[in-house]
């Protein structure tokens, strides 16, 4: 009798164990939700509209590959990326996708656009379309203590 009932249960309607549900949730979470950049601290908007980022307050930028994100400053979302050691080892990116302007999200060592799937390297280079150009780089000036973004 039990085997008769079992034959009527389709794999899609069978009860899911708690362990199975947790495994599925972990898989979905790891696969679909990207890592996010740390929000920058020590950010100051100057009278001329430039954005000053104090390096000592952003430990993520000590290491090459570190990223901080500055959102909603002068209507923009910006990432400051450490690409090399030294004062010239920074890139500031406008995080609007160059396809249709959707904000890109960090996904490990890349940026991806949730709108149509474009992908950019962490320093902004285009990897996968439909965007045709890299993320826009913003002008920066750096000292050993501060990065100023124009």
User: Which residues of this chain interact with ligand FES, rule CB under 6 A?
Assistant: 97, 99-100, 102, 113, 115-118, 130-131
Q: What is the C-alpha separation between 10 and 15, in angstroms, rounded?
A: 10
CB of 88 to ligand FES, least distance (A): 29
CB of 96 to ligand FES, least distance (A): 9
Nearer to ligand FES, 90 or 112 (CB): 112
SS3 assignment, position 27: helix
Nearer to ligand FES, 53 or 131 (CB): 131
CB of 127 to ligand FES, least distance (A): 12
Sheet strands (E) in 24-150: 38-39, 43-45, 51-54, 67-73, 76-82, 90-94, 105-107, 110-112, 119-121, 126-128, 137-138, 140-142, 146-149
Q: What is the DSSP letter of 103?
A: B
CB of 80 to ligand FES, least distance (A): 21
Nearer to ligand FES, 37 or 118 (CB): 118
């Amino acid at each position: 009798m039990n085997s008769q009932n079992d034959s009527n249960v389709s794999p899609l309607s069978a009860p899911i164990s708690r362990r199975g549900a947790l495994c599925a949730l972990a898989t979905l979470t790891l696969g679909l939700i990207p890592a996010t950049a740390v929000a920058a601290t020590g950010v100051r908007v100057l009278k001329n509209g430039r954005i000053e980022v104090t390096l000592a307050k952003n430990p993520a930028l000590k290491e090459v590959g570190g990223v901080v994100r500055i959102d909603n400053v002068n209507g923009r979302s910006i990432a400051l990326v450490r690409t090399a050691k030294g004062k010239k080892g920074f890139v500031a990116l406008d995080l609007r996708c160059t396809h249709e302007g959707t904000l890109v999200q960090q996904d490990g060592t890349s940026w991806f656009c949730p709108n149509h799937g474009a992908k950019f390297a962490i320093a902004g280079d285009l990897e996968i379309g439909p965007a045709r150009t890299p993320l826009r780089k913003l002008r920066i000036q750096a000292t050993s203590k501060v990065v100023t973004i124009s």
